[in-house]
Amino acid sequence: MGEHVTRSIEFKSQSNESTNPAEMHLTAFSQQEMKVRALQSLLGFWLIAAICVLIPIAHFVLVPGFFIGGIVVASRRWKTAEEGRDATGTCPDCSKDICIPLDKIAELPQWHDCPECAKPLALQLPEAAETSQA
Mean pLDDT computed over 120-134: 72
pTM for the whole structure: 0.74
**Residue 67 neighbours by CB under 8 Å, 6+ apart:** 45, 46, 49
- Which percentage of the chain shows pLDDT scores above 70? 95
Going by C-alpha positions, the residue among 130, 123, 127, 109 that lies closest to residue 13 is 123
Q: Which pLDDT does position 1 carry in this prediction? A: 74
Q: For the chain, give the mean pLDDT.
A: 90
pLDDT tens string 45-102: 999 999 999 999 999 999 999 999 999 999 999 999 999 999 999 999 889 999 999 9
Are 24 and 42 contained in the same domain? Answer: no
Are 35 and 24 contained in the same domain? Answer: no
Are 9 and 42 contained in the same domain? Answer: no
- Full domain range(s) for residue 40: 31-79
DSSP codes joined into one string, 101-114? E-TT---S-EEEE-
Are 88 and 128 contained in the same domain? Answer: yes
Q: Which pLDDT does position 126 carry in this prediction? A: 87
Q: What's the total number of domains in the chain?
A: 2
